[in-house]
Amino acid sequence: MKRIKISNNVIRRLPKYLRKLDDLSAAGVERISSSELGRQMGLTPSQIRQDFSCFGEFGQQGYGYNVAALHQEISKILGTDRNFTCVLVGVGHIGHSLISHFNFENFGFRLTAAFDVKSDMIGKSLRGTPVYDMNELRGKLEDLKPDVAVLCIPSFKANEVAPILVDGGVRGIWNFTNVELDIPTDTTVIENIYFSDSLLALGYYLSEHLDEVEARAAKQRK
């Protein structure tokens, strides 16, 4: 695929479009205008047209977007047709939750193995995914050649295990450890889920909201 550099803001909005298109499909909507899509998503129609124009032309002027075709196109841009494989490292609460409830396949990833240190976990199969001993990690990486590792181990182990993954040929890490990984980013793609950053942002927006409410109330009291 020929690639143009696309801004991170656009990339980050694409999954949001997919979710909305899923909802529209489920509701039986087959076609939607950019203005209606914008209204439902809190974006301007021109922002939507601009987002999509990065990838060529999706819509037909005056006819709106075909919901199924747009979904397929955005999925493809996001690489969901690439048959990526992944392994999950660390079957604690978060790891367990992902194996049990998260549909990796919906997003183009096939989970082939999990690893843990707990003896009562090793040898189990969770929702079809075998759990191996962490000691087998190097060997299994060689066998399975996963594209991605989902890192769910405790923070203090993060930078001990990350280099093993990179040495083992992993090209992407989905990082739930809340620790910045100290590995070269020119050869490995890292996607972090920082719970703390999200909660801090919530704190900011909530503070802002409460200040506005208070300011309005003060104005009315005058």
Give residues in contact with a second copy (CB under 8 A): 1, 3, 9, 11-12, 14-16, 18-19, 23, 77-80, 82, 84, 92-94, 96-98, 100-102, 104, 106-109, 147-148, 171-172, 174, 180, 189, 191, 193-212
- Tell me how far, at minimum, the Cβ of 167 lies from a second copy, in Å: 17
Give φ, ψ of 61 to 5 degrees: -50, 125
Do the Cβ atoms of 165 and 142 come closer than 8 Å?
A: no
Residue with smaller CB distance to a second copy, 148 or 166: 148
Q: Crossing angle of helices 34-41/45-53, nearest 10°?
A: 110
Do the Cβ atoms of 20 and 37 come closer than 8 Å?
A: yes
- Tell me how far, at minimum, the Cβ of 204 lies from a second copy, in Å: 5
Distance of CA 46 to the CA centre of its chain: 26
Residue with smaller CB distance to a second copy, 135 or 216: 216
Residue with smaller CB distance to a second copy, 132 or 174: 174
- Tell me how far, at minimum, the Cβ of 75 lies from a second copy, in Å: 9
Residue with smaller CB distance to a second copy, 29 or 202: 202
Residue with smaller CB distance to a second copy, 135 or 183: 183
- Tell me how far, at minimum, the Cβ of 63 lies from a second copy, in Å: 26
- Structural tokens at position 141: 């990486």
Neighbour count for residue 10 (Cβ, 10 Å) = 16
Do the Cβ atoms of 84 and 148 come closer than 8 Å?
A: yes
- Tell me how far, at minimum, the Cβ of 175 lies from a second copy, in Å: 9
H helices of 27-153, where? 34-41, 45-53, 67-77, 93-101, 137-144
Q: Which amino acid is at 73?
A: E
